[in-house]
Structure 1
Amino acid sequence: MRIKLIIISFIIISCKSGNDFTIDGTIDADDGSKVYILQADQNNQPFVKDSTVIKNSKFEFSGQAATPEISYFQVEGVNGYVLSIIEAGKINAEIYTDNLTTSLVTGTRSNNDFNKYRDETKSLVENINNLASDQQQAIFNNNIELASKLRKDISRNEQEIMLYEWDFIINNEDSYMSALLLEVFMVENKVNKDSIIEVYNTFSNRIKISNVGKNIADLLRQYEDPINVGELAPDFTAPSLDGGNLTLSENLGKVTLIDFWAAWCRPCRIENPNLVRLYKKYNSSGLQIIGVSLDRTKEQWEKAISDDNLPWIHVSNLDFWNDPVARMYSIRAIPQSFLLDENGYVIAKNLRGLSLEQTVESALSINK
């Protein structure tokens, strides 16, 4: 009988895996209101993963998380969300409904790392936002000299953030934050493939098998040789903004810029005012721009076009990284662009700012 009890106790203890998590939260909301945990499905649409009722200004969750998962707390009747990384361990949440941005989620490695990252990059991010706003105003006022100076200031701040992020990644191989940042490095084409592989291989197994870790591995497997300068750009037909279909070869200008971008891509959005200025200056001389969006929804795509006042041709399959045109051009990070001559041959890639304008001007003068 004693042996049987020992075996039963062992089974019970074994059922409690190292994947258990608890969330203890405090909140300034009415008792009886609900707190929801939201996560994203395969189409990046939010769904309710769990919910609980507030009692005595407190709430609790518990469950299992084999790998870390980006999640959001939503409070019934309150607009906005509080980001959290659900992972094994004890998580503490302080939710302030009058100002959700001051809420704090702590207790586990990845949540603590997220707070550290946010706090240590806050001033740089604010600087970039202010500079980007000033740059857009300078471009609107046709003050190209000031806009160019502000672009350089933005680049310096971005470079400082990038160096901080890279140090963070290589020094925190067991943090979900490192995987999230490394994925951004891939998406925004900040480092080469070999560097990505070297860092990825140092990640702990729980990070490698997380959804982001798996996505990084999948992107690494899909790397292909890029389309080079001097090659004929692959022709394509894709859905346009008005619901029709547009074919590249039927819409070539004297010079054509194929711009791969998305509403969610911050560097793309920062560069858009410069492209608008360039298009207005050279469109009548033969410059064509075709924007290929990697957005997921038409609403986000249309809103970004409207907000940024982008007057050129736009196409998208609304299929994120699976967009057929993006795959055809081996796009694994954005922004990326290809500058074509009137016959569709690639004459330059991934130019921005003054370098792009000088190349466009030179190409148009040759094709006069």
Structure 2
Amino acid sequence: MKKILGALSIFVLAACSNKDQFVLNGELINNDQVKKVFLYEGGEVVDSAFLNDDNKFRFRRTAPIPQFYNLKVGENNYFFVLSNGEEVSFKANIKDPSGNYEVIGSEISSKIKEFSEINTRYSAISREIEGEFQMRLKREPSKEKEIRDELFVKYKNNLDQFSKEVLAFANRNVNNLAGFYAISSLDPAEYEAEMMAYADTIKDKFPKNAAVRDFVTHMAELKPLMVGQKAPDFELMDQKGKTVKLSDFRGKYTLVDFWASWCVPCREENPNIVKQYNTYKDRNFTILGVSLDNNQAAWLKAIKDDQLTWTHVSDLQAWNSKAAELYKISSIPASFLLNPEGIIVAKNLRGQKLADFLEKTL
């Protein structure tokens, strides 16, 4: 009788322990290279496992609340949301160019797989467009601009369609972390309002998840910089060491343009900004260039080479620029268009969008 009770107690303990961890069982098909796989959490390796002779592996870990994990298999990455009590099976053919895989036992991870399939589909289209660009450029190198402009329309349409599917998926999954995973793939410059609304919706749903908390906090920090808000004032020195305040430009439509001499997309956009400045500078429009350079000579040379004849300021602190920190700049080019009262009326207008807005407004 004691032996039976002892065996039962061991069984009960084992059953309890299963609820205090998750198990991820994996199998690789057509694998002849990968010997070891890695499990990441929050960008850091938290575990690793060698494959056995059957190309199988297993992870056991503790996750009291659902957490994001990235399984790195060779050059491939697979994403999961896992928590205690789950026993998940994963299978992938690492030679499948589509990147398809199987996951069973985790409802949220299955939803992430659904989103990954959406992402894979649109990424393939982007690669096709890039391939077409390279092929046509090789045949007609003198027509680079025409080819680039033509294919950019296709690229932008593909990106817009992808973003619509992202929003639809995120809204369908607002009550689980797969929705948050999807919304994080959007470009904040293009979908700021949608991302802020999403942050407001989920802010109390996952209070213990660090990634969600960081996202909600960041979106809250951006609210004072939304269209319709008064632009925060700042002061920096211009090329000659004179202090310039943003508020000095009140009374005019002002484009606050964050850029740098080393930023290729910025330099590519500069001819368009020059064109708009020359067209509208006598119609109550001006520009304040804010450089994220840390090399004064390079900054001044770029101003001269690109013929940027408006006011420029910089503290030569690169990403630590006071103005960049104030405006939460995480990538450049970035811009804010202010009305004569200093209210933000548009953000990140480039190319034809800037021209259309100025023509309509001024």
Q: TM-score under structure 1 normalisation?
A: 0.60
Q: Residue 298 of structure 2 corresponds to which residue in structure 1?
A: none
Q: How many angstroms does 1:71 deviate by?
A: 1.3
CA distance in 1, matches of 2:325, 2:115: 33
Letter in 2 for 1:22: L
Q: Residue 183 of structure 2 corresponds to which residue in structure 1?
A: 182
Contact kept, 8 Å, 1:21 with 1:65, in 2: the verdict is no
User: Counterparts in 2 of 1:1-368, with a 5 A limit?
Assistant: 13-17=15-19, 19-26=21-28, 28-29=30-31, 33-41=35-43, 47-56=44-53, 57-66=55-64, 67-75=66-74, 80-85=75-80, 87-88=82-83, 89=86, 90-94=88-92, 96=94, 102=99, 104=101, 106-107=103-104, 108-128=106-126, 130=128, 134=133, 141-143=144-146, 147=149, 151-185=152-186, 187-190=188-191, 191-192=193-194, 195-197=197-199, 199-200=201-202, 203=205, 205=206, 208-226=207-225, 234-235=233-234, 249=244, 257-259=256-258, 275-278=269-272, 289-290=289-290, 325-329=323-327, 336-339=334-337, 349-350=346-347, 351-357=349-355
Q: How many angstroms does 1:131 deviate by?
A: 5.0
Q: Which moved more, 1:177-186 or 1:29-38?
A: 29-38
Q: Which of the two has higher C-alpha Rg?
A: 2
Instruction: Give the 3 Å change call, closer, same or farther, for CA 187–335 of structure 1 in structure 2.
Output: farther
Instruction: Give the 3 Å change call, closer, same or farther, for CA 105–176 of structure 1 in structure 2.
Output: farther
Contact kept, 8 Å, 2:26 with 2:56, in 1: the verdict is yes
List runs of 5+ in structure 1 lacking aligned partners: 42-46, 239-245, 299-309
Contact kept, 8 Å, 2:37 with 2:49, in 1: the verdict is yes
Contact kept, 8 Å, 1:189 with 1:334, in 2: the verdict is no
Contact kept, 8 Å, 1:131 with 1:150, in 2: the verdict is yes
**How many equivalent pairs are there?**
317
Instruction: Give the 3 Å change call, closer, same or farther, for CA 63–193 of structure 1 in structure 2.
Output: closer
Q: TM-score under structure 2 normalisation?
A: 0.61
Instruction: Give the 3 Å change call, closer, same or farther, for CA 358–143 of structure 1 in structure 2.
Output: farther
Q: Residue 300 of structure 2 corresponds to which residue in structure 1?
A: none
Instruction: Give the 3 Å change call, closer, same or farther, for CA 348–156 of structure 1 in structure 2.
Output: same
Q: How many angstroms does 1:179 deviate by?
A: 0.8
Contact kept, 8 Å, 2:222 with 2:328, in 1: the verdict is yes
Report Cα offsets for 1:187-237 as digits up to 9, x if no partner. Answer: 34513467325642695x4xx533332223323443442277896763366
CA distance in 1, matches of 2:77, 2:158: 26
Letter in 2 for 1:34: K
Q: How many angstroms does 1:130 deviate by?
A: 4.9
List runs of 5+ in structure 2 lacking aligned partners: 295-305
CA distance in 2, matches of 1:32, 1:122: 22
Identity of aligned residues (%): 12
Instruction: Give the 3 Å change call, closer, same or farther, for CA 290–340 of structure 1 in structure 2.
Output: farther
Q: How many angstroms does 1:139 deviate by?
A: 11
CA distance in 2, matches of 1:129, 1:257: 34
Q: How many angstroms does 1:114 deviate by?
A: 2.9
Instruction: Give the 3 Å change call, closer, same or farther, for CA 330–87 of structure 1 in structure 2.
Output: same
Letter in 2 for 1:91: S
